[in-house]
Chains A and B, each alone.
Chain A
Amino acid sequence: MKLRRQLILVSLLTLSLPWAGCQYLREMEDALREGQGRALLATAEAVANRIASEPTLIATLTQNFADVAPEPQFYAHPFATSVVLDGYDDEWRDRQLLKKQWQADAFRASIQMGSFNKNLYAFIEVDDRQLDYYHPGQQPLTASDHILLRTLDRDGRVRDFVVVASAPGAIHTFDINTPHHQWLNRQDAESDDENMPAIPPRQEHSIHGVWQETSTGYQLELQIPWYLTQGYLGVAVIDHDPHQPQWLGSITAESPPAPLVRHSDLLTEAITVFAAEDLRLRLATNNQWLIAEAGRLQGAAPAQAQGGWTSLLRKLFSQQRFPALDQPERNGRLETAEVTTALKGQEAVEWYRYRQQTIARAAVPIRLDRHIIGAVVGEQTSAGLLALTDNAFQRLVFYTFLATGCAGLGLIAYASWLSLRIRRLSRAADSAIRDDQNLEDAFVPSSAQDEIGDLSRSYNRLLIRVQEYTEYLRTLSNKLSHELRTPLAVVRSSLDNLDNEQLPDSARIFAERAQQGSQRLSTILTAISSASRVEESIQQAEMNDFSLDKVVAELVLAYQDIAPQNIRCQIMPEQNYMLYGSADLIVQMIDKLFDNACDFCPPDGEIILKLARNKNVITLTVSNVGPLLPDKMQSQLFDSLVSLREKANAPQENKIHLGLGLHIVRLIVDLHKGKVVARNRADKKGVEFEISFTVNT
């Protein structure tokens, strides 16, 4: 992976900035929320203290319905308007109240209640397969489907009313003056029991209602004056059946009515003082009935209406998933955990979802002499909080994206710069190694003070070392031949002198051998220093235009005379082979290649010199039949002192191979800015050397 790409990947780490920001925001939001919760608790506390300090309020809170089991109790939902008694549920449907329901097989009953002004309203729905209407005069009241309303009278005695209907429409209510079951028994026995006061049922006109048939049974809407109930009401629905009448409702045949639960105006008034914008206060009785409510919650938060993407991001980053807010106004119950906790004596705060915002609900117990008599429930949306954090969130998103962008761009730029420097360094190092030119020109060490600068400088030092070493190697052969030449001259001149001495023939033969040996040594020294002499002559070469094809043709003629192999010349006709260079050196180069080819080519083999021109590239190829190039060291073939010759055919020839020939070839090719390639022939029968020169014309 390139450095730049690596750094781009690393720059992705800056994306953790927005994450960290969101994390921070969330914590901030948590802190704010906690603060809001505390504030809300404090408010609720104040309300609780206020209520606990007012005897009348305490009395209201602890009235009859507050201390009994809530199951049989009815909750009279406060209605803002009057109810039109028509037997239809128009007023009830929209309120979505939770009905109290009972069921026995197909016989079902459900009741909901509301309160407006001085009346209690009830809506009763009954599923009954067979409707038995009341026929006045023919039947007793109980021989029809009827509703039993049980209240208490002023003296606390049970008072039962029976509601019947003769047909869909207005109902009839009778005060039966005796407890229903007794009265029922009496009716059933149809006997004149002397013990029982035979008070006939009296029609009660203050209870109104309308009875309507439905597809599954009937429903009726009742209006009962509050005074009539004395705060107590039990309701039962009785399905008439001669053999087995069925009974459903909040009361059994003999149980007393349970206290009705209704909102207290007094308490409502007391807490309204505390209620504020976006703060809803509620009071719960000890048995968790909602009996007072003040204040309204804000609707949808304005902040939520804003740009979809921020809310989307918020959703992404917000981990909290609160439960939906319950609706005590539908059944009058405050039964959530915090209220329960509060009623056990521990104040608590819980968070809920309300529409699209979160809402805090704090519950604080109201104490009276260490007894808990109820709870204050305060609710507040986090609209303000939300607006604050939303704003912060938006800005955070903006700033972090800006910062990430800047950091990313900066890193990319930095990475590019860095990789540019490194690339430049490596290119400079490459060219310094490749080119034979002066090191000072090829490699300028950086003056930067950082690690790359250090690298560049140490590279420079390394290259200088390498150059020194190369220089040393280059002059080594020269120095060596120079140093060896003097002692060799001593040997040779001594031998020459020896020739003139009177030596016995037996000694003379040794002198001759020594002479031959020193001759060979001299040849070797000449060969060693010849490479450096070629370099010198290259430096002093005189360049002029000459025709390469003529030179090659002449050379081939010359070679044909001296080499045993079959020499062929292929020159692509009608091409311009004018080349700017030194003909002498080119000849020398071809000589070396030809020598090389001769050495490897068997005597009956074929050596081909080809000259061709393609556009402005002149290609000279010397190819010979013979052994192939070994795979290794092919690239070093043209280096000084590298010879890939097999030792096997060396001894019989009295020639030395120092690997200088091809090195000289390369020097000459380089001088002419050409290229030389050694490779095995395509037919795998031999080797070819290809030299290409680029010409301008």
Chain B
Amino acid sequence: MARHIVIVEDEIALAHNYRDALTRQGFVVSLYHNRADALAAFQQQLPDLAIIDVGLGDDIEGGFDLCRELRAKAPTLPIIFLTARDSEFDVVSGLRLGADDYLTKDISQTHMLARIIALFRRVDALRNPQNATQEDIIQRGLLTLNMDRMSAHWSDHIVDLTITELWIVYALAKHPGHVKNRQQLMDAANVVLDDNTITSHIKRIRKKFLRIDDTFDAIQTAYGMGYRWDDRKS
């Protein structure tokens, strides 16, 4: 059965473009242009994925509100913010509200599709853990990355990483000791971001690991070059 994706986007041309692209990939797509319509549709039936713009017409923060309400209704529903706003504050707010990913609108369709597929993969993996037989698993010291399930563990504790963060960790941990510059990390995460956003992603990743293990220092900064995974100590 084809997956059902809901796009809530006030820019009609853009919404149609996305719909066309996603339909071409075999998804069933519904479009809503404001919060009220979307909410009404969610009352009827929950989709498999919601792609929400933050600003909905005059409702500047409408996407955030919608996300909150949707999350309350369906705690496991994958939600992606797709927005023109790229400020750190917006990203953090979006993720805090329970969105699974935060994409800016200038992302290419290829990248976006990669994200969506990755997200579905993770959702599937969470739903059907027993199906995982031949999984893409990386083990680096205390770190365990399962790229099929899109999940990360640090000494058996799950680390709650977003997809972008997961890919960054994956890119670093795949070749420990190799310095990855920001561009490489961006490519790995399928995002177009500026250096500062990468920096703050790294910062957030470190924090998430530190929450589990306060001696974590496997992600090291190579000034002027980038970052590397170094877990020799652990």
Chain A residues closer than 8 Å to B87, beta-carbon distance: 478, 529, 532-533, 536
Q: Which of A130-138, A304-312, A584-592 binds B? A: A584-592
Which residues does chain B contribute within 8 Å of A590, judged by CB atoms? Answer: 224
Residues of chain B within 8 A of A494, CB atoms compared? 13, 17
- Taking a contact as CB atoms closer than 8 A, the residue among B21, B110, B222 that contacts A558 in the complex is B222
Query: Could you tell me the distance between the alpha carbons of A542 and B204 in the complex, rounded to whole angstroms?
Result: 12
Mark out the residues of chain B between 190 and 215 whose CB falls within 8 Å of any chain A CB in the assembled complex: 192, 194-197, 199-200, 203
From B14, B88, B225, contact of A533 by CB (8 A)? B88
Which of B179-197 touch A at CB < 8 Å? 192, 194-197
B225 to chain A, nearest CB (A): 5
Query: CB within 8 Å of B: which of A501-547?
Result: 522, 525-527, 529-530, 532-534, 536-537, 540, 542
Interface-forming stretch among B42-50, B63-71, B101-109, B120-128?
B101-109
A88 at the B interface (CB under 8 A)? no
Contact across chains for B20 and A489 when beta carbons are under 8 A apart: no
A319: Cβ under 8 A from any B Cβ = no
Docked-complex contact A496 and B109, CB < 8 angstroms: yes
Select which of A493, A525, A536, A587 is within 8 A of B17 by beta carbon.
Answer: A493
Contact A486 B11 (CB under 8 A): yes
Does B24 interact with chain A (Cβ within 8 Å)? yes
Question: In the assembled complex, how far is the CB of residue B91 from the closest CB belonging to chain A, in whole angstroms?
Answer: 10
Asked if B4 lies at the interface with its beta carbon under 8 angstroms from chain A, I say no
Q: Are A492 and B108 in contact (CB-based, < 8 A)?
A: yes
Contact string against B for A residues 582-601, beta-carbon threshold 8 Å, 1 for contact and 0 otherwise:
01100110110000000000
Find out whether the CB atom of B88 lies under 8 angstroms from the CB atom of A536.
yes
Looking at the assembled complex, report how far the CB atom of B190 sits from the nearest CB atom of chain A, in whole angstroms. Answer: 14
Residues of A near B59 (CB, < 8 A) are none
Chain B residues near A488: list those with CB within 8 A. Answer: 105-106
* A481 to B90 CA separation, bound complex (whole angstroms): 15
A497 contacts B222, C-beta separation under 8 Å: no
Residue from B11, B89, B192, B195 in contact with A490 in the complex, judged by beta carbons closer than 8 Å? B11
Decide: B14 and A490 in contact? CB cutoff 8 A: yes
Q: Which residues does chain A contribute within 8 Å of B14, judged by CB atoms?
A: 486, 489-490, 493
Query: Does A559 have its Cβ within 8 Å of any Cβ on chain B?
Result: yes
Q: How far is the CA of A210 from the CA of B106 in the complex (A)?
A: 148
Q: Does A395 belong to the interface (CB within 8 Å)? A: no
Is A555 among interface residues, defined by CB-CB distance under 8 A?
Answer: yes
Per-residue A-contact encoding for B72-111, CB less than 8 Å = 1, 0 else: 0000000000001111110000000000000011101110
User: A485 in the interface, Cβ–Cβ < 8 Å?
Assistant: yes
Residue contact B20 to A497, C-beta cutoff 8 Å? yes
Q: Mark A552-583, 1 if CB is under 8 A from B, else 0.
A: 00111111000000000000000000000001
Q: Which residues of B contact A584 (CB under 8 A)?
A: 199, 221
Q: Does B18 contact A (CB under 8 A)?
A: yes
When distances are taken between beta carbons in the complex, the residues of chain B under 8 Å from A536 are 87-89
Chain B residues in 8 Å Cβ range of A557: 224
Q: Please indicate which of the listed interface residues A530, A533, A588, A591 has the most CB atoms of chain B within 10 Å of its own CB.
A: A533
Alpha-carbon gap, A393 to B46, bound state (A): 108
Interface residues of B in 217-231 (CB under 8 A from A): 221-225
Q: Is the CB of A485 within 8 A of B17?
A: no
Instruction: Return A624 CB to nearest CB of chain B, in Å.
Output: 17
Give chain B interface residues in 4-22, CB to chain A under 8 Å: 11, 13-14, 17-18, 20-21
- Residues from chain A with a CB closer than 8 A to the CB of B203 are 542
How far is it, in angstroms, between the C-alpha of A500 and the C-alpha of B22 when the chains are bound?
A: 12
A581 → B minimal CB distance (Å): 14
Q: Of residues B14, B18, B109, B224, which shows the largest number of chain A Cβ atoms within 10 Å of its Cβ?
A: B224
In the bound complex, residues from chain A placing their C-beta under 8 Å from that of B11 are: 486, 489-490
The chain B residue sitting closest to A561, CB to CB, is B225
Between B88, B106, B110, B221, the greatest number of chain A beta carbons within 10 A of the residue's beta carbon is seen for B106
In the complex, A551 has a CB within 8 A of chain B: yes
User: CA separation between A587 and B196, bound complex, in Å?
Assistant: 11
Residues of B within 8 A of A559 (CB): 224
A461 within 8 A of partner (CB): no
Q: Given A530-B196, A537-B200, A588-B195, A490–B84 Cβ distance below 8 Å? A: no
Q: Which residues of B have CB within 8 Å of A355?
A: none
State whether B84 touches A497 (Cβ < 8 A). Answer: no
B21 touches A485 (CB 8 A): no
A684 within 8 A of B: no
A591 with B105, Cβ < 8 A, contacts A490-B13, A494-B13 known: no
Write 26 A-B pairs (CB below 8 A) sorted by A numbering. A483-B84, A485-B105, A488-B105, A489-B106, A493-B14, A493-B17, A493-B18, A496-B21, A526-B192, A529-B87, A530-B195, A533-B197, A537-B88, A540-B200, A551-B223, A554-B222, A556-B224, A557-B224, A558-B222, A558-B224, A583-B223, A584-B199, A584-B221, A587-B224, A588-B196, A591-B224
Instruction: Rank and list the top 10 A-B pairs by shortest CB-CB distance, nearest first.
Output: A558-B224, A489-B105, A493-B17, A496-B109, A485-B84, A555-B224, A554-B223, A522-B106, A558-B225, A490-B13
- New A-B contacts (14) at CB < 8 Å, excluding given A489-B11, A489-B106: A481-B86, A485-B105, A488-B106, A490-B11, A490-B14, A493-B18, A494-B13, A496-B21, A496-B108, A497-B17, A525-B106, A554-B223, A583-B223, A587-B224
B interface, CB within 8 angstroms of A: 11, 13-14, 17-18, 20-21, 24, 84-89, 104-106, 108-110, 192, 194-197, 199-200, 203, 221-225
